[in-house]
Amino acid sequence: MENAASAKREKAVPKRTRRDLLKLAPLAALGAFAVPRLGERLLDAGMALSDAASGYLQHGRLAPTFPDRLVTPFARFPYNFYDVSDPGVDLEHWTLTVEGQVARPGEYTLAEIRRLPRIVQNTRHVCVEGWSAVGNFAGASLGSFLKAVGADLACRFVEVECADDYYESVDMQSALHPQSLLCYEMYGRPLDRGHGAPLRLQLPIKLGYKQAKYLNTLRVTNVLQSRRGYWEDQGYSWFGGL
């Protein structure tokens, strides 16, 4: 009698295979997100995993470059800003403040930055708002500048702050990427105010929101501040890679 009852119970409770459990995983995740604090942790963990995977896949990869005939005409290259199109930078007296883990901190003029080898590249700018455009950009290699100021390249991050109160940070590997620029020209002309004069980041391996404009401070650090990036602090991916 007892053995028959046990057999009946086993039939009533079907065994779950690994495939069954995998099918249930999305439902479990949805249930977890229904608990706000647990959902936030899962989201943060997922974003961190995504950023790590993006960094691994991007390592050593160059962004596509384009011939001049495929460059978007300057008049059709969108102006894009989060607050104001012109924060009123004093272009004549502007300097870039360099601080953090560097041997030569201080104020650097645009003329000093322009003494570094000039790099020109036609690359695609991709905006999360749904548009993209191939632009002609020129400037100094961000990696060359970091070496010139004696940055500790073993540090993990480069942070920037901007005249319009925007702020951003990138991993050191991306900062040292050969196509990452401190950009001071577009289409053979100095940046205009709408495109970030006098200096902006131009990172063709990153989404547009990583490419901060109106730079006024650059910091090398091993520990990110609580403000990681303007849009990232509102839920965007920190890595922001393409």
Give residue-wise pLDDT tens across range 33-80: 455 555 444 444 444 444 444 444 456 799 999 999 999 999 999 998
Q: Is the pLDDT of residue 187 over 50?
A: yes
- Asked if 108 and 19 sit in the same domain, the reply is no
- Asked if 204 and 107 sit in the same domain, the reply is yes
Tell me what percent of the residues of the chain surpass a pLDDT of 90.
72
- Asked if 32 and 80 sit in the same domain, the reply is no
Give the domain range for residue 90: 67-234
Find the CATH number of the domain harbouring 157: 3.90.420.10
**Residue 187 in domain:** yes
Query: What is the residue whose two structure tokens read 């050593």?
Result: 60
What's the average model confidence in pLDDT over 18-47? 44
- Asked if 35 and 135 sit in the same domain, the reply is no
**Residue 87 in domain:** yes
**Residue 150 in domain:** yes
Alpha carbon 181 to its chain centroid, in Å, reads 13
Burial 45-74 (b: 16+ CB within 10 A, else e): eebeeebeebeeebeeeebeeeeeeebbee
**Residue 62 in domain:** no
Q: Is the pLDDT of residue 4 over 80?
A: no
- Asked if 48 and 10 sit in the same domain, the reply is yes
Computed over every residue of the chain, the mean pLDDT equals: 84
- Asked if 226 and 177 sit in the same domain, the reply is yes
Number of domains in the chain: 2
Q: Is the pLDDT of residue 83 over 60?
A: yes
**Residue 183 in domain:** yes
**Residue 108 in domain:** yes
- Asked if 118 and 34 sit in the same domain, the reply is no
- Asked if 20 and 92 sit in the same domain, the reply is no
User: What is the 3-state secondary structure of the chain?
Assistant: CHHHHHHHHHHHCCCCCHHHHHHHHHHHHHHHHCCHHHHHHHHHHHHHHHHHHHHHHHCCCCCCCCCHHHCCCHHHCCCCCCCCCCCCCCCCCCCEEEEECECCCEEECHHHHHCCCEEEEEEEEECCCCCEEEEEEEEEEHHHHHHHCCECCCCCEEEEEECCCCEEEEEHHHHCCCCCEEEEEECCEECCHHHCCCCEEECCCECHHHCCCCEEEEEEECCCCCCCCCCHHHCCCCCCEC
Q: How far apart are CA 74 and CA 191, in angstroms?
A: 11
- Asked if 34 and 131 sit in the same domain, the reply is no
- Asked if 154 and 132 sit in the same domain, the reply is yes
- Asked if 83 and 179 sit in the same domain, the reply is yes
Q: Is the pLDDT of residue 16 over 80?
A: no
**Residue 6 in domain:** yes
Residue 95 or 40, more confident: 95
**Residue 59 in domain:** no
- Asked if 106 and 207 sit in the same domain, the reply is yes
